Each structure stands twice: as C-alpha cells, then as structure tokens.
Chains A and B, each alone.
Chain A
Amino acid sequence: MRRRSRALALVVGLAVVAPLAACAGEGSGTPKLIWYINPDDGGQAAIAKECTEQAGGAYKLEVSVLPRDASAQREQLARRLAAADSSIDIMSLDPPFIPEMAEPGFLAPVPDDVAERVSKDVVAGALAGATWNDKLVTVPFWANTQLLWYRKSVAAAAGLDPSKTPVTWDQIMTAAKDQDKYLAVQGTKAESLTVWINALVASAGGQIIENPEAPADEITLGLDSPAGEAAATIIGTIGKENLGGPGLPTEDEGASLSVFQGDKGSFMVNWPFVWSATKAGVEDGTFPQALLDDFGWALYPQVTADQESAPPYGGINLGIGAYSKHVDLAFQAAECIVTPEHQATYFATNGNPPSNTTAYDDPAVKEAFPMADVIRESLELAAPRPQTPYYNEVSTGLQQTWHPPSSVNPGTTPKESTDLITAVLRGEQLL
C-alpha cells in the first residue's frame, strides 16, 4: 500500500511538472529585435517589415503592442525594465515618461554619431522631448500636436475667422455659448486632461513644475500662480456653464471628435487624427462630404490675446532598452525607422505627424493632410509636459484634483493640486 501511494505521489508530481516544461526556447540565427509599439493603424508594423527587408539579414524587427492608454504603456514598460528584461530592444515612448525611464538607466545611451544624425532637421519640441539632463536619450520619431479645429459655419456665424487671426479661449467659449453649441475638449480623467491643463498653463506663460529635474521631495509646483488660475478659470467655466456638453467629464479624444462631428459641434482642440477619421467616415457613407468641407483648422487657441499659444506636444520617441542583447543593432533599426520617408508615409497612412521637418515636403503628406503646414508651425510652438521622473505622480495628481471640470475653481483647485502632488512626492499621501 505504501509503495502504491508513493507511486501515486510520483504521478501527481509529474502531472504538475510536465506541462510546465513545455515552454521551449527560440532557435538562434538572425538576431530578433522586439519593438514595443503603441497601438496604431498598422503603420509601425509596416515600417518594421521594411526595415527588416532593408537590413538584409542583419536583424529581424518584430513589433509587440502596448496598451492603448498612455499611462498603461508606461506601466508595462517600467515594470519590465525594472525586471532588467533583455527582450526589450526598442520602445515607442510617450515623451513625458522618458525621464522616469532615463533616470534609473533603463535606456541605453545614444551614441554621439547616432545622436547627431537623428537630431538633424528635427523640430525643437521633439528634440526637447527626447532629451533628459541635456543629453539625447531617445530617438525622435513622430511628433504630435493639437490644433484648433472649427466648423467654418459656426465660426462664421460668430464672426470669427481663426485661420486669419488667432482666437482666444474666451472668444470660442463666448461663440459656443451664443450659438448654443458645444466645445469639444478632453475632460475625461485621463492623460488627455493633463495635456489640456499643461497647454493652458503654458499658454498663459506658466509651467506646472518649476524645477522638473529636482529630486522628488524638492519639486516645486508652479500651479498656484496667475497662469494656473487662468487655466483653472477656463476649465472651470467650460465645466460649470456646460459649454462642453453633458459628455465632458468622460470625453476623451475620440469622444470629442464625435461631439464635434455632431449637430452641436463648434470648436475642438484635438490631434490631427480627427481629419483622417472623419475622411474615413465620409468614405463609408456615414457622414456627408459637406461635414468635411465644413472643417477648418488653426493654431491652438490663446489664453490672452497678446501672447502666442503653447499647443500640446505629444508623439513618440524611440528608446533603446539598456538590457537589450543587441543595443547596436537596435540603434541601427531605430535609425531606419525614423527616416524622413518612413515618417512621411506614416503620417499619410496613420495620421501621426513627422518630427523631421523635411518629411513635411512629401507630396503624399500634403495630399493626406492639407493642414500639414499648420501642424509644423504648431510643433515649433508646442510646450512639452513637465519632464520629471515623477511625471506619473504629477499627472495623476492633476487628474485627481482637476476632475470633473465643473468642480475646478480658480481660487482653490491650483492650490489643492499643488498640496496633493507635493504630499504624494514626499510619500506622505496616497494617490
């Protein structure tokens, strides 16, 4: 009986272990590079394919998709890098999260010659976003910026022509109110809210963090200032006076676009994808051509009439994993990915604007995006979000205190968020 039970135990043991051994390794051959990409319409995968072909066997570039949400992308990558994961070769990084990755040495240093080549002809904002502690730490890929989109009919009725003279937030708010229309802005509790707050604060001449390179407990916030108040006034008024419509507290970029396309659409701040998305809607018959013809575009609205706006800056830079087994090849692949030709095709097919100015001269770009020149101009003016290794805390802290928009109060909200973020950075509070 005893032997039997031992045999039984052995069977149990095998049953547990056997399936686990099934995870087999990879054969060698051409080095495989894995590129972690943010989701898109297949553009990065196409580029990866082309680069693999061009490399002629030097490497094989494969993509692996990250989550849709910017902060979730950061989460995934930071987790893996903290595990010193050698399978991360190239990463598509959202600029605000670059310092957090660069600071603990998660990013492989960019060789000087590569840095020189990939910085050539790159718009200032994108270059700044790719830099940490005065060193280029990532390779600029594409650069995004928000424009002011408007329905020509509504703007005309309100007596505005944003394409000729820059408009202010006050003007578009009044216009929306008078015309009984909705402003399309991103009021949902997500990264897009931080983008909006940052653009407003920067357009008012302020900055969210005064000393972004300081250690966590010495960071000073610049929100409790006239610029912070100006931003809070705009967001609070749009929220309280229902200028954004009932959907505002859950409105992300996609939802903003549907508000703008609807009967109550008037003005919208949003990324250029709105153009290709609406065009696709016209092509499959959902929208009339007249809707697309009614689309106008201009630079991001100003906070005050006498000061140029500082539009949001976004996009993707390529970081090379410090623990990658093929750092050299990864830089080689990154250089292939960001050639102006690839950037131009990517813009035309996926709607993500190039960071390289020469890519804007491509005829395909002009045809797909008639507003390419405005985008390029906007990129030169764009202000990045605070570049600090604690960006996640700062951004989440802003979202906790500035949401919903109707609760934002110029007298109290900037101070509240300053207190919360400061306490969190000192480890005195949860987030």
Chain B
Amino acid sequence: MSTASAGAGAVRAQVPSGAPPDLRDAAAKAGRSDRAKSEARLGWLLAGPAFVVMLSVTLYPIIQAFFDSLYHYRLTAPDDKRWAGLSNYAVVLTDPIFWQALGVTLFITVITVVCELILGFALALVMHGAIKSLRGLLRTAILVPYGIITVVSAFAWFYAFDINSGFINHWFAWVPGISEDLNWFASQGTSLVVIIMSEIWKTTPFISLLLLAGLSQVPTELEEAAEVDGATWWQRLTRVVLPNMKAAIMVAVLFRTLDAFRIFDNVFIMTNGANGTEVLSLLTYRTSIGRLEIGLGSALSVLLFLCVILICWIAIKLFKVDLAGGARGAS
C-alpha cells in the first residue's frame, strides 16, 4: 500500500483509538454484532472500489519499478535486458549528479515552504478577517493562481524574466544587481530565484486555504477574551491564534513539503535543468523517458519514493504531525 501503508502504520501507532475493535465486538450484543457485520460489508462495498483503484494506480507501478530497477534495460536495445542486482542503485548513489539534484530539490523545497507559510498565513488572515464586501473579491483573486495550470505559470514567469522577451530587467534596472544585461536563466542562483517565485505564486493559495481552515477553528471566545484583557494584535496572534492552530500548520507544511519535493513543471519549462537547477523528478524523467534507460530510471523512481517516505516518517516521528487528525472525526 506504499506511502499509505507506512503512513497508516505510523499514525495508527500513535493515535489512541480507544479500545481495540475485537474487544468492542466481543462486548457487543449478538444482534448488534450482526448489524455491525452488515454495516462493515456495506462499508467495504462502497469504499472498496475507490480503495482498489487508488492502490492499483500506485502500488502496482511502484512494485513494478522496483523489479525493473534490478535490470540493465534500455528500451532502444530491448534484446539486451540483463540482471543487474543492485548495481543500478550503486550507480545512482555514487553519482554526484544525483546528490546535486537532491540538494537542489531540498533547497527549493525548504525555501518555498518557508516563504509560502509566511505569505500563505498573511493571505489566510486577510481572507479570514476581510470585511464582507471585499471577501468575495479577495477570495476570487487568491483562487486564480490555484486554478491556473503550473505550466502556464512557468511560462508567464519565464517570459517576464527572459532576457529577450522580458520586461522585468527594464522595470527594475534601478535595483542594485539587476540591469538590462542580467540573464536570469544563465546562473544557478538567479534561475532558482525565478523558479521558486513561480512555484510560490502558484501554490501559496493552497497553503493559505489549509491555514484558513485552521484559523477558522480557533475559538473566537479565546481571542475576544484576550482582546478584552488588552492584548495587542501581535500578542493575540502569537499567544492565542498560533498555538491553537499548530496542528493545522504542521499538516499544511508537511503537505506542501511533499508537494514541493516533486517539483517538475517549473524547472522543465524554465531551464530544463541547465546551470545546476536539475531536480530529482527531472533527473528521473530524463533518465527513464528521455534516455529510455528503464533500469536506471526505475532505480531513481524507487529512491525518490523512499525520500518521500523518509520525509513523512521524519514529520510524523520527530515533529509529531498528526496526519490522522482529519480521520479522527470519522472514527
């Protein structure tokens, strides 16, 4: 069951779910047990198809990827498929290109998530507190980036900064470090700046909506009480609001981290990995789809998958992110 199984196990272990189901069943009366049985059957009949579909579109491919990763297999030389053991992994893990891509991916992930958290929180506060007449307008504006295709966003930012077709250099030529001759996509730092900006622009609405959900759960009485006590806006924010939505923030961060970690579209469109901007997803894509090296590409796929599991594990074990928080309402 892939990510979910690991996630499920980890989360279940820590979330107290009351008495074990079998004990509950034993305690139940015979009639109720019958009813429970039929309810369980109906439950699985209804939820089963979705469950099976979800598993088959992820679990099967990742297992297949693991098998493929054990072979030397190139699609344009199909007769040359041979057993490789773990040597594909050895090639990947000893290659600086892999580590460089991992580093860039992590860098982009950390920067975007931190910026988005701050910006997204500000937007959530705006949406939360906006006066009625403006609320619709603000929400609409904030939702536009959410609905836009990432590739379109990438092109929009790319064309704006491009040394030939762009206008940013003309507008900001007065800023130290920016001039008509600045080629944003010619070096690692500046390329990453634009890639990160596009990524932040596109996904901040999502994180701000997650935070808005948390914000709306902060009990208003607490805030009002603090206001009566003469707490400043900042004090109310840091002492009342933030502690009360810690869980929401953690979940938002974890979700966005995992999402940012698979960044592909923006890099593909803007630099296609030039100037040390290659990320793991792009490296995997280029190896398996571009070079048709299925063996090596599958090894990269599996490693990428393991990275995601690792991030989940760190979040759940070390930061105690309660992923099942939403599930609690159900049980």
Report Cα–Cα, A404/B91, bound state, in Å: 26
Report Cα–Cα, A231/B274, bound state, in Å: 21
Q: Are B290 and A75 in contact (CB under 8 A)?
A: yes
Q: Does A60 contact B (CB under 8 A)?
A: no
Q: Are A246 and B183 in contact (CB under 8 A)?
A: yes
| Stretch binding the partner chain, chosen from A4-12, A30-38, A51-59, A307-315 | A4-12
A242's nearest neighbour on chain B, judged by CB, is B181
Report Cα–Cα, A404/B183, bound state, in Å: 12
Contacts of B46 in A (CB 8 A): 5, 8
Q: Are B291 and A431 in contact (CB under 8 A)?
A: yes
Contacts of B48 in A (CB 8 A): 9
Main secondary structure of the interface of B (DSSP, over half): helix
Q: Does B245 contact A (CB under 8 A)?
A: no
Contacts of A248 in B (CB 8 A): 183, 186
Task: Kindly state the interface size class of chain B when it binds its partner.
Answer: 35 or more
Interface residue from A2, A249, A392, A396 paired with B185 (Cβ < 8 Å): A249
Q: Which of A391-431 contact B (CB under 8 A)?
A: 392-393, 396, 403-404, 427-431
Q: Does A78 contact B (CB under 8 A)?
A: yes
Q: Are A246 and B182 in contact (CB under 8 A)?
A: yes
Q: Are B45 and A5 in contact (CB under 8 A)?
A: yes
Shortest distance from the beta carbon of B273 to any chain A beta carbon, whole Å: 8
Interface residue from A9, A245, A429 paired with B91 (Cβ < 8 Å): A429
Q: Does B22 contact A (CB under 8 A)?
A: no
Q: Are B292 and A247 in contact (CB under 8 A)?
A: no
Contacts of A430 in B (CB 8 A): 91-92, 95, 97-98, 283, 287, 296, 300
Q: Are B291 and A393 in contact (CB under 8 A)?
A: yes
Q: Does B220 contact A (CB under 8 A)?
A: no
Shortest distance from the beta carbon of A387 to any chain B beta carbon, whole Å: 15
* 28 A-B residue pairs with CB within 8 Å: A2-B41, A5-B42, A5-B45, A9-B48, A12-B49, A75-B292, A78-B75, A78-B76, A78-B292, A79-B75, A100-B76, A189-B273, A245-B181, A246-B186, A247-B164, A247-B183, A249-B183, A249-B275, A250-B185, A250-B186, A250-B274, A255-B164, A389-B77, A392-B291, A404-B186, A429-B91, A430-B97, A430-B300
User: Residue among B46, B48, B186, B290 with the most chain A CB within 10 A?
Assistant: B186
Q: Which residues of B contact A (CB under 8 A)?
A: 38, 41-42, 45-46, 48-49, 53, 72, 75-78, 91-92, 95, 97-98, 162-164, 181-183, 185-187, 272-275, 283, 286-287, 289-292, 296, 300
Q: Are B72 and A427 in contact (CB under 8 A)?
A: yes
Given contacts A249-B275, A250-B183, whether A9 and B76 have CB atoms under 8 Å apart is no
Given contacts A78-B75, A189-B272, whether A2 and B38 have CB atoms under 8 Å apart is yes
Q: Are B78 and A71 in contact (CB under 8 A)?
A: no
Report Cα–Cα, A247/B181, bound state, in Å: 8
Given contacts A249-B186, A404-B186, whether A82 and B91 have CB atoms under 8 Å apart is no
A-B contact sample (5 more), CB < 8 A, given A103-B77, A404-B274, A428-B91: A82-B76, A396-B291, A430-B97, A430-B283, A431-B286
Q: Are B75 and A82 in contact (CB under 8 A)?
A: yes
Report Cα–Cα, A389/B77, bound state, in Å: 10
Interface residue from A9, A75, A103, A404 paired with B49 (Cβ < 8 Å): A9
Contacts of B72 in A (CB 8 A): 427
Contacts of A247 in B (CB 8 A): 163-164, 183, 186
Contacts of B292 in A (CB 8 A): 75, 78-79, 82
